[in-house]
């Protein structure tokens, strides 16, 4: 049986993570997006002759849509930005103001495994740093081929190559939460020889996003050739510090063509590829209304655009209103699970209604966009209601400040459910954390969250431990 490409639990984690990360720290996010667009723009220019006409394009896994805005404004193409997170796409409107942009893509919430686009309706599909979030990557290739017109091109980039030279001891976080010794090894180019998968993967994995870092260069080549006989490659092999630079140079000398093929096998890195769908190109009207390229995610029927800007299926009762500039075109069953709205089994601090489920000892709401949070002291309480008839799992998202580690005492968080201790966690690093544990069957859960050690930030007279941004129940899938 083929491996499941992406579970519903991972899709929930994707929605949550992208909302949290898209513009939760606006200045940092805008800087990162600008840097990514410089890299991605260079990849597109390197393959422009192969790409040909890009209108209409689709970017899958677009996050806030920053690269789609680049395609529309810098490259003059028209098309769609899609992501499973409606909130991240919604936050992307800030990019137009900050960057002074004139054109915007059509923003569509979509599952890359079930794209709400008609067969052969697009000239170009792009994906950056998103294929590795699926356990069965080939399923994405098949879906992309379906929506591409004959002669259309699938361009993807920033996909990790599994390196052979690594002990794979543990998952390492990004630079800002590395320990001092990890930063030193990183600067020397030695950290990659120790860690499992990709440096930085720990953050997404900690969120519950399962990543596929099993693909070596020859695996990618076989997959691409199976679906797209005509293609171009581009390899980006790391050379951080002397530890990787020496090996990369030696591997190039061993390679019979003097290329980066052998270095990529040894040191990994990332892959970019432009892949052309077989067949004689057929005309795709660039001026056709955008809804003509879409199809109902439930029944595959055509959409009409009503005067209220809602998309309505002409074959079933599926309706997608425009919400904050975004059309949510997930299948109805997935939409119900991933966008439950105001529910008593979720305390999302980004929603105004969250406060009614909080108990004692929560500080005032802080944060921006999708990153709303409340500080707690040594103890806080909350209540969740079980709305399902299935076994439940408690999930708590928070952030550990450096002040929590200042005393030298290992920070701990313990949770009691309905008066019974559930679990105690020890935090190893500053930054984002996710706590998960199965809870016993019950109609209602009274939670007590205890954290230590406490710390202070004079002249503020409050007692701090951690801040929390979401508490929820999920099925144990």
Whole-structure pTM value? 0.90
3-state secondary structure of 46: helix
Domains (range + CATH), the chain = 8-276 (3.40.50.150), 346-475 (2.60.120.260)
The burial of 307, by beta-carbon neighbours within 10 Å (0-12 exposed, 13-18 middle, 19 or more buried), is given as exposed
- Least confident residue range of 91-95, 101-105, 108-112, 249-253: 91-95
Amino acid 83: pLDDT: 96
* H helical segments located in 54-99: 66-73, 86-91, 93-99
Model pLDDT, residue 2 = 53
pLDDT at 243 over 90: yes
Neighbours of 136 (CB within 10 A): 15
Residue 1 has pLDDT above 60, yes or no: no
Integer Cα distance of 218 and 147 in angstroms: 26
* Top-ranked range on mean pLDDT: pick from 339-343, 369-373, 442-446: 442-446
The percent of residues above 70 in pLDDT, for the chain, comes to 99
Is the separation of the CB atoms in 234 and 275 below 8 Å? no
Band of residue 330 on the pLDDT scale cut at 50, 70, 90: very high
Q: What angle, 0 to 180 degrees and rounded to 10, lies between the N-to-C axes of helices 241-254 and 180-188? A: 30
Please state, in angstroms and rounded to a whole number, the distance separating the CA atoms of residues 89 and 83.
7
The residue-averaged pLDDT of 2-19 equals 82
Token representation of residue 10: 């991972």
- pLDDT of 3 reads 62
Which pLDDT score is estimated for 12? 86
Is 295 a residue whose pLDDT tops 90?
yes
pLDDT over 50 (residue 78):
yes
């Amino acid at each position: 049986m083929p491996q499941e490409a992406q579970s519903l639990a991972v899709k929930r984690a994707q929605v949550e993570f992208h909302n949290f990360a898209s513009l939760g720290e606006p200045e940092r996010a805008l800087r990162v997006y600008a840097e990514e667009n410089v890299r991605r723009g260079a990849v597109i220019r390197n393959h422009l002759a192969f790409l040909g006409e890009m209108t209409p394009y689709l970017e899958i896994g677009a996050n806030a849509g920053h690269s789609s805005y680049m395609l529309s404004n810098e490259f003059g193409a028209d098309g769609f930005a899609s992501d499973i997170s409606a909130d991240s796409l919604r936050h992307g409107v800030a990019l137009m103001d900050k960057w002074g942009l004139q054109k915007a893509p059509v923003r569509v919430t979509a599952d890359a495994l079930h794209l709400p686009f008609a067969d052969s309706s697009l000239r170009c599909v792009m994906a950056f740093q998103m294929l590795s979030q699926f356990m069965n990557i080939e399923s994405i290739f098949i879906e992309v081929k379906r929506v591409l017109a004959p002669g259309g091109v699938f361009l993807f980039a920033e996909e990790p190559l599994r390196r052979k030279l690594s002990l794979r001891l543990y998952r390492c976080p990004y630079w800002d939460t590395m320990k001092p010794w990890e930063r030193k090894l990183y600067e020397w180019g030695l950290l990659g020889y120790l860690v499992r998968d990709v440096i930085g993967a720990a953050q997404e994995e900690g969120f519950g996003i399962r990543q596929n870092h099993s693909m070596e260069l020859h695996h990618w080549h076989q997959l691409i050739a199976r679906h797209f006989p005509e293609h171009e490659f581009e390899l980006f092999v790391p050379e951080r510090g002397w530890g990787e630079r020496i090996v990369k140079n030696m591997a190039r000398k061993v390679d019979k063509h003097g290329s980066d093929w052998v270095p990529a096998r040894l040191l990994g890195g990332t892959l970019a590829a432009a892949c052309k769908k077989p067949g004689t190109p057929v005309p795709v009207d660039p001026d056709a209304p955008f809804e003509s390229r879409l199809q109902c995610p439930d029944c595959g029927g055509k959409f009409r655009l009503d005067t209220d800007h809602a998309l309505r299926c002409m074959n079933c009762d599926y309706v997608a209103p425009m919400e904050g500039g975004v059309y949510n075109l997930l299948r109805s069953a997935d939409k119900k699970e991933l966008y439950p709205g105001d529910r008593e089994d979720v305390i999302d601090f980004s929603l105004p209604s969250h406060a009614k489920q909080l108990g004692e000892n929560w500080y005032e709401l802080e944060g921006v966009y999708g990153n709303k949070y409340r500080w707690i002291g040594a103890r806080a309480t909350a209540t969740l209601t079980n709305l399902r008839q299935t076994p439940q799992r408690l999930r708590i998202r928070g952030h550990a400040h450096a002040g929590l580690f200042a005393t030298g005492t290992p920070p701990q968080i313990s949770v009691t459910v309905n008066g019974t201790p559930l679990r105690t966690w020890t935090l190893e690093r500053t930054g984002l954390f996710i706590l998960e544990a199965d809870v016993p069957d019950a109609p209602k859960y009274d939670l007590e969250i205890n954290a230590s050690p406490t710390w202070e930030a004079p002249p503020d007279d409050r007692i701090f431990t951690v801040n929390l941004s979401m508490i929820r129940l999920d099925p144990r899938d």
